[in-house]
Structure formats: C-alpha cells, structure tokens
Amino acid sequence: MKNNIRYYYSLLQERLWFKPLLFCIISVGSAFLAHIADNSFLDDMVPEIEEDSIEVLLNTISASMLVIAIFAVGSMLSAFSAASSSATPRSFPLIVSDDVSQNALSIFIGSFIYSIIATVAFKNDYFGKAGNFTLFILTLVVFAIVILTFLRWVDSISKLGRLGQTIQKVEKATKDSFLERKQRPYLGAKPLKSSKKGTPVFSKFIGHITHIHMDQVDEFTKEFDVDVIINCLPGSFCTPDQPLAYFQQKHKEEVELEKLINCFEIGLERSFLDDPRFGLIALSEIGSRALSPGINDPGTAIAIIKSHTRLFCEWFSKEDQESKSVIYDRIEVPPLSLSDMFEDAFRPIARDGAGTVEVMIWLQKSFSTLWNIGNQEAKELAILHSKTSFERAEKAISNIHDIESLKEKSLFFAHQKS
C-alpha cells in the first residue's frame, strides 16, 4: 500500500495542476475562515480596522497575482524547453515536478483566488468587526508569503532548466530509485529460482511497465492459490507476445487472468520512480548529446561519468538488512541485470567519446573505482568495459602519445600486468 501511494503521488507531482488546485481550495477556505471570528470572544478584543486598508491590500493582490502567475508559467515553459534541448527530453518530468516552481505557481494562483473571494465577501458586508480584523491579518500573511515565495522562486527559476541543474535532478532521481530497489531488491518478493515457469500471462497493451502493484499480485496468489513468477520488471517494454508473468497452480481451477494483468501499470514512457536503469539511460543521453560534433562539450560527458560512478558506488555499498525480508512469499522476481546497467551507463559515452582522450581516461578511472569496490560480477564487467572502451579509442585516436596515456590508465592493461 505504501508503495502504491508513493507511485500515485509521484504521478500527481508531474501534473502541473495538482498543487495549484490544492492551494486554491485552501485559499477559498481561508477567506471564509475570517467569518468564524465574528460573534466570538474576539469581537470585544480586536481593534477596528479601516475598510480602505483591507480593500487596498486585496486590490493589490488581485491586480498583480494573475500577471505574476502568467509570468511564472512562461518562465517555467522556457525552462522546460531549455532542459529538453540542452539535456534530454527524458528529464522533462523531473523539471515539471520541481517543488519550488510548483509551490510558487500554486501560491500565486491561490493568492489571486483568495483576493477575489475575500473582496466579494468583504464588499457584501459578510464580515463583522472581528471578521474584518481576521481578514486583515490573513491578507497580510498572504502578502508576506507571496513576497518571500517570489524571492525564492526568482533564485530557483534562474537555475531551472540549466544543464548542471538538470544533471543533478536526474542523478538524484536515479539515486532515489537505486536506494528504493536496494531496500527491496526483488520488490518484496523472493528471488527467481524456479526453472519451471508455468502458465504465461500476456498483456493486450504495448508499452513500458511503469509500476507493479505487488500487494495486488499477492492477493491474486491467495485468492486462486497460485505461485506467480514476474517476467517483466518496471522499465521493460512489453508486447502481446511477451509474458508479463507466469503462474503455477496445484489444482486445475479457473483463474481470472485479468486480475493479474491489471496489477501491471503500462505506459507509453518509462518512469524514474521504479526503474533504476532509466536514470542511467537519461544521464548517458545527456553525455552523448554533449559529445556530438555540433556541441563538442567533453566536460559535460566527464560530469556524467562522475555521476555514474557515484551511483554505482551507492549501488555497491553495504546493503540494508531490511532488503533481506520477504513480504510476498508466493511471488518470485528476477534481479536487475548488472550487465545491462553497465551497458546503459557506459557504452553510449564510450562510443560517442572514443575520439576524446580526456573522456576515455575518465571512463578508465571510473572502471578502476568500480573494480575496487564492486562484487565479482562488477569486477568482470569493469574489466570487459575497460577493454572495449580502449579498443574504441584505439581506432578513433590517431595520436600515439594519447593512446599511451590512455593505456597507462586502463584497468584492463593494469589487470593483465598483475
């Protein structure tokens, strides 16, 4: 249930209307909150507030907030466009879900709605003495919040969509996905061990698996007394000829396959939330774009290599004991392929940066680090990618001194010597 809530909340965060809608509801409630103060003990305690002072504040907010909100939307759209053109279109959901920008837009729209509702109620003598005082205080608070939010938002929007900021956002989203998968390496189920798969279950839809409702799969196993083997992990591209899962039953009873199929959320695009590999792919796309002849920015590619190194170091760090627990004992899930993760992270940069010795040296440094801290499979993959990267560079770099410098840093040749 916790993971389902997390999944749906992340989807709402990517919708630009969600937070503004919440703030609009709050603003309407706040405007009518002042009426509660009337006919209470506050009526004899609060001072009389001039109506003109309240009216001036409300008019100022109503006249300016809609303009600022439109300006905010325009600035955000420019940032979205910059992120898509300078980094990768895959980073778009992360830019849209930026908390500072969403909160700012929500407060600007919410304060505009508040001022309109409060003005209408105020002009129709809806508030008494205590109500006017409460409305005045609320309006001052709204005014202060708007000013502070605007100052914070201006600082944030100047960075939003910038290449460095986008890389940080993608790396953070990937790290969060890594940590979540480390805590639940098999999504709370058992590791795949069964050699016999059972009856396959297919989907009619074509797209990427974005989320698996494991608690619903567990309910399915209990309802029909079956064991389930997940075949498609989040991020997998499913087609009608590829099984989503298999189920094994001891008793030949009719099973409602639709219930199992509905446990898989299928979308047109991949998501960062439950798909650690997608973050690696997005980062590599940024690095590959930076290495294109029209841009020729090896510094960004090196920054991506550093991001990959940090992420894999996090992946190979000591596992949490919580990751050992099995919640769904009738479900088996395959592990993430470390080989595929290495391919996602390093092959595109090794291919597109083969002719740039600085990029290739940083790749070799990264492979050496991962060889030192990784498990046996990681060591083998690091040596393999070190070898293939050097072979690519050897064909692309004509200067013999650059080749010799790269050879000195190569994990593959260092391992051969030892």
Domain ranges for the chain, please list them: 2-161, 186-266, 273-326+334-417
- Output the CA–CA distances (angstroms, integers) from residue 16 to 20, 65, 91, 173, 194, in the order listed: 8, 18, 15, 18, 44
> Which CATH number is 186-266 given?
3.90.1170.30
Answer yes or no: are the C-beta atoms of 210 and 234 closer than 8 Å. yes
pLDDT of 321 reads: 43
Q: What is the pTM of this model?
A: 0.84
Task: Give the length of the chain.
Answer: 418
Q: Which residues contact 113 (CB under 8 A, 6 or more apart)?
A: 24, 27, 28
Neighbouring C-beta atoms of residue 171, cutoff 10 Å: 20
Please list the pLDDT of the chain residue by residue as tens digits (418 residues): 566 676 766 667 667 677 778 877 887 787 777 777 777 766 667 787 888 888 888 898 888 888 888 888 888 788 777 777 777 888 888 887 777 888 888 888 888 888 888 888 888 888 888 888 888 888 899 889 999 998 888 888 877 778 888 899 999 999 999 999 998 889 999 999 877 788 999 998 999 999 999 999 999 999 999 999 999 999 999 999 999 999 998 777 788 999 999 999 999 999 998 899 999 999 999 999 999 988 899 999 999 999 999 999 999 986 554 455 788 999 999 999 999 999 999 999 999 999 999 999 999 999 999 999 988 999 999 999 999 999 999 999 999 999 999 999 999 988 887 6
pLDDT of 62 reads: 87
What φ, ψ does residue 227 adopt, rounded to 5°? Answer: -105, 140
Closest CA to 335 of 184, 176, 185, 217: 185
